[in-house]
Each structure stands twice: as structure tokens, then as C-alpha cells.
Amino acid sequence: MASLKELQNRIKSVKNTQKITKAMQMVAAAKLRKAQEAAEKSRPYSDRIGAVIQNLANSMSGAGDAPELLVGNGKSDTVLLVVATADRGLCGGFNTNIVRKAREEIVALEKAGKTVKLFLIGKKGYDQLNRLYDDQVVEYISLKEERKLHAGIAQRIGEQITGMFERGEFDVCKLVFSEFENVMTQNAVSRTLIPAIAGMGVEDDTPGEHAADKVFAPDLNGAIYTYEPDEAGILRVLLPRNINTQVFTALLENQAGEMGSKMTAMDNATRNAGDMIDKLTLTFNRTRQAQITSELIEIISGAEAL
Amino acid sequence: MADKLQFSLVSPEVELFTGEVDQVDIPGSEGDLGILPNHSPLMAAIRTGAITVYADGAETQYFVQGGFADVTPAGLTVLAERAALLSEVTPDALQGDIDAATQALESLEGEAALAMQQNLDGLKAVAGA
């Protein structure tokens, strides 16, 4: 049996760990609130931009000169998978879930005979996916240096994706990220970015409440939209912007999910540490009692021998 | 003038304004537009500049950069890539953007250059005001 001193040390060390996990939980809770707010604030914009594109797409359908970003380039041989994960660990199964989803996608796509290229955002996903598919990773971005997510980051990523599409490096683009439902639940989902029309109206898998699947058709009372400049001109600017927005939304959802997941994980860790302390304290007290008893027996038997 | 225009100004990061107003002046890419209640449906690209909102006799100005104005019978929505209260935008803060736009302009040509020039002009106009 461990000595009293050893037990004492262990209790102390577990208590320290508990303090750390508790602090991390509280930090995550504070950040979660902020992240959730940010995600909610960005929602009107992404909802509206989706609606506007839907609108334009309807009026453009049938026209032969629809932009490739909207309807695709007619092929689907090469698929670019944009996988967004967190840069930090210690957040339960959050990153693993996204990576698992990405791997499912990769396996399914490769089975269908497609070439898969990977565009990775976030260090954790890179660490896990680069091991398996290092020759397919075409781009890796870490957001560790960014203090706060802002639209500029998403714009940079979005422009990179659009640029690659225009150079013909891929035909279809899918975005894998974690959709924030609530603190306990985050669903890893995949959405089609390019062609934009495929990402609308239908969800690829798990339906989300606030997702782009809200079909929006304004009641124009029979009036006709005036476009300034023309539809094609607007779409040309709007579609790349839509990609930026989708990326931005994904990053914000991810951030909220990461924090929620971290909060839950750290809460569990704190509770585990508490259980462990209780158990160790019990052993400590028993050991001490046993020691006292044996000392007493020694004294008493010594006295009787006299 | 019983009619009011339902107006909302949203950027990717925040919904800056939402509410009922009397009139909104928008810098459209093809020229300035004044939107009044019951405007016919319109979708217009906007250029860098200032939006003026008239509500209850008061005027509020917002700085916007890139985006769209969407008019439906339900109201007007401005989707701006960047938006802020004009009073919170200082010429110093814009100088960096002006420099960047000037530099970007040199490497561009054709339509992209025109768009960038328009952006630059708008930035300069706002910074000079």
C-alpha cells in the first residue's frame, strides 16, 4: 500500500489538475457566449445572401450563360474538400468528429472514382488528415495566430478557393465543418460550395434549423425585379462573395462548437477529478487509521508485557 | 406620409441597423439611388461610399464597401461586405485601404481595374468628407 506521503502528494496533484480544468471550463464558457453571439450576428447576412442567389438562380435558369460557380462546369471528376477544424485540442470529440466525417466523404468519393483534394483549415484536422492523405493535401491554413475571427480571414480563404476553381484545379467543392446546435450537440456536416446551386434547397445530410435550406421566395405581387447592372454582372460578384460568407459562417459555427465541446469536456474532467480526490482521500484516511491502530497495538502489547 | 420603409443594413459580422425609415440614399454602382417606401423590386450592386438614412427627421450616415441593395415589397436590405457608422470611420483608418487599393489597381486591368478604381474613388470621397 502506498505510504501516507505518497497519497498526500497524489491528492495535491489531482487537486491542481482540477483547478486547471475548472479554469479552462470557465474560459470556454465565456468564449462560447461570445462565439455564439458572433455566429448569430452573421446569420442575417448569410441567410439573405443565400436567398438572393436563390432568387437570381431561378430567374437565370434556362439561360445558357449561367456562371460556372453557380451551375458547375459540367464535370465532377475532381472534388475539393475544405475541412475546417479547430486549432486547439482538449475539446472532447470535436475535431475527431469532423475528421471522421471528412474521411467518410473521402472514402465515398474515391469509391465513386473521383479524385479528392484536401484544403485544410485548422491544425488539428491537418495533424490527423495529413498522416493519411498527405499527397492529397493541397492547402493548409492555421488560424492560430488570429485573435478574433473576422470576415477578412474568410474572404482570403474564399478567394483562394475561387481562384483554384477558375484555374480548373477542381470541379466540385465541398465544405466540411461542425454545425453548432447547442452546447451538447454539434453535428459534423458537409455542404456543397461549388456549384452553388447544388448547395441550396437540399441539405447534404443532417438537417439544421437555421441552415440554407430555408427556401425564400419574396412575394413580389407580380412585379418584376430590376437589376442594376444585369443579372450576370451581379451574379459574377455575388457568387464569390457567397463562398466567402459560407466559409465565414462555417468558421463561426466551428468556433462556437469548439468552445461548447471544450466546456463539456472540461466539465467532465473537473467532475472526474472530484471523484478521484474523494477516492484518494478515503484511501488516505483508511491508511492513516490503520497506521494509528497498529501503533496502538504495539504500545498496548508493550505495556502488557511489562 | 404614413408609409415607412423597412430597412436593414447587414454586414457579415453584424446587423448594423434594422427598423422603419422614411428614405435611404444608396451609392449604386451605376449611380446614386434614393429608395422610398413602396419602391419597385430592385437588385443593385453598390459601390464604396456613404449610405444616408432618413428617419423621423434625422439623418444617419453609414460607410459601406462592396455589396448589394435588395428591394422587395417587404423592404430594403443592404448586404454590405463592410459597413460601419460613418462617424466612427476616420480618414486615418481609411488611408491604409486607399494605399492598398492604389497598389492593387496597378496590377489589374479591364473590368477588375474599373471596379477597383470605383472602390478607390469611393474611399477617397469618404476620407475627404
How would residue A213 be classed by pLDDT, with cut points 50, 70 and 90? very low
- A213 found inside a domain: yes
In this complex, do B30 and A228 lie within 8 Å of one another by their Cβ atoms? Answer: yes
Q: Determine the 3-state secondary structure of A150 from DSSP.
A: coil
Neighbouring residues of B126: CB distance < 8 A, sequence distance ≥ 6: B48, B49, B50, B63, B86, B89, B94
Q: For position B3, what pLDDT does the model report?
A: 82
> Cα angle at B51 between B47 and B54, to 5 degrees?
155
Of A155, A225, A248, the CB nearest to B43: A225
State CA A76 to chain mean position distance: 26
B33-84 pLDDT, tens digit per residue, is: 899 998 888 888 888 888 999 988 889 999 998 888 888 888 898 988 888 8
Neighbouring residues of B69: CB distance < 8 A, sequence distance ≥ 6: B26, B28, B33, B35, B42, B43, B44, B46, B76, B77, B78, B79
Q: For position A185, what pLDDT does the model report?
A: 84
Q: For position A237, what pLDDT does the model report?
A: 81
SS3 of chain B: CCCCEEEEEECCCCEEEEEEECEEEEEECCEEEEECCCCCCEEEEECCEEEEEEECCEEEEEEEEEEEEEEECCEEEEEEEEEEEHHHCCHHHHHHHHHHHHHHHHHCCCHHHHHHHHHHHHHHHHHHC
The CATH number that applies at residue A141 is: 3.40.1380.10
For the ranges A169-173, A229-233, A243-247, the lowest mean pLDDT is seen at A229-233
How would residue A1 be classed by pLDDT, with cut points 50, 70 and 90? low
B97 vs A contacts (CB less than 8 Å): none
Output the CA torsion sign for A299, A300, A304, A305.
Answer: negative
- A25 found inside a domain: no
How would residue A205 be classed by pLDDT, with cut points 50, 70 and 90? very low
Q: For position A203, what pLDDT does the model report?
A: 40
A299 — alpha (psi -120 to 50), left (phi > 0) or beta?
A: alpha
What are the DSSP calls for A31-70, one per residue? Answer: HHHHHHHHHHHHHHHHHHHHHHHHHHHHHHTT-TT--HHH
How would residue A61 be classed by pLDDT, with cut points 50, 70 and 90? low
The residue-averaged pLDDT of A62-90 equals: 81
Q: For position A220, what pLDDT does the model report?
A: 55
* Highest averaged pLDDT of the listed ranges A102-111, A222-231, B106-115: A102-111
Q: At A120, which helix (H) or strand (E)?
A: strand A115-121
Q: For position A294, what pLDDT does the model report?
A: 94
Please give the tally of structural domains in chain A.
1
In total, chain B counts a number of residues equal to 129
Q: For position A98, what pLDDT does the model report?
A: 93
Chain B residues 45-74 with CB within 8 Å of chain A: 45, 66-68, 70, 72-74
For residues B30 and A230, the answer to whether their CB atoms sit within 8 Å is: no
In this complex, do B12 and A46 lie within 8 Å of one another by their Cβ atoms? Answer: yes
The residue-averaged pLDDT of B12-25 equals: 88
Between A104 and A56, where is the model more confident? A104
Q: DSSP character for A197?
A: G
- In angstroms, the separation between the Cα of residue B129 and the nearest Cα of chain A is 26
How would residue A222 be classed by pLDDT, with cut points 50, 70 and 90? low
Of A155, A220, A229, the CB nearest to B30: A229
- A305 found inside a domain: no
How would residue A278 be classed by pLDDT, with cut points 50, 70 and 90? very high
The residue-averaged pLDDT of A124-141 equals: 90
Q: What is the CATH number of domain B5-86?
A: 2.60.15.10
Range of the domain at A146: 43-258
For the ranges A17-26, A139-148, B99-108, the lowest mean pLDDT is seen at B99-108
Question: Residue B92 has which C-alpha cell?
Answer: 486615418
Q: For position A209, what pLDDT does the model report?
A: 38
B103 inside 8 A of chain A by CB: no
- Give the active site residue among A91, A173, A188, A265: A91
CA-based nearest residue in chain A for residue B31:
A228
A28-39 pLDDT, tens digit per residue, is: 999 999 999 888
Of B45, B73, B79, the CB nearest to A220: B73
- A85 found inside a domain: yes
- In angstroms, the separation between the Cα of residue B56 and the nearest Cα of chain A is 25
Q: For position A281, what pLDDT does the model report?
A: 96
Whether A173 is a known active-site residue: answer no
Q: For position B88, what pLDDT does the model report?
A: 80
Q: For position A206, what pLDDT does the model report?
A: 39
How would residue A204 be classed by pLDDT, with cut points 50, 70 and 90? very low
- A186 found inside a domain: yes
- A110 found inside a domain: yes
What gap in Å lies between CA A66 and CA A58, rounded to an integer?
11
What gap in Å lies between CA B31 and CA B28, rounded to an integer?
5
B11 — alpha (psi -120 to 50), left (phi > 0) or beta?
A: beta
- A140 found inside a domain: yes
**Domain boundaries, given as residue ranges, for chain B:** 5-86, 91-128
Examine the pLDDT at A139 and tell me if it is beyond 90: no
- Cis preceding-peptide flag for B91 (omega within 30 of 0): no
Q: For position A218, what pLDDT does the model report?
A: 53
CA-based nearest residue in chain A for residue B82:
A151
Examine the pLDDT at A202 and tell me if it is beyond 60: no
How would residue A65 be classed by pLDDT, with cut points 50, 70 and 90? low
Q: For position B93, what pLDDT does the model report?
A: 74
Between A77 and A230, where is the model more confident? A77
CA-based nearest residue in chain B for residue A218:
B72
Between B91 and A187, where is the model more confident? A187
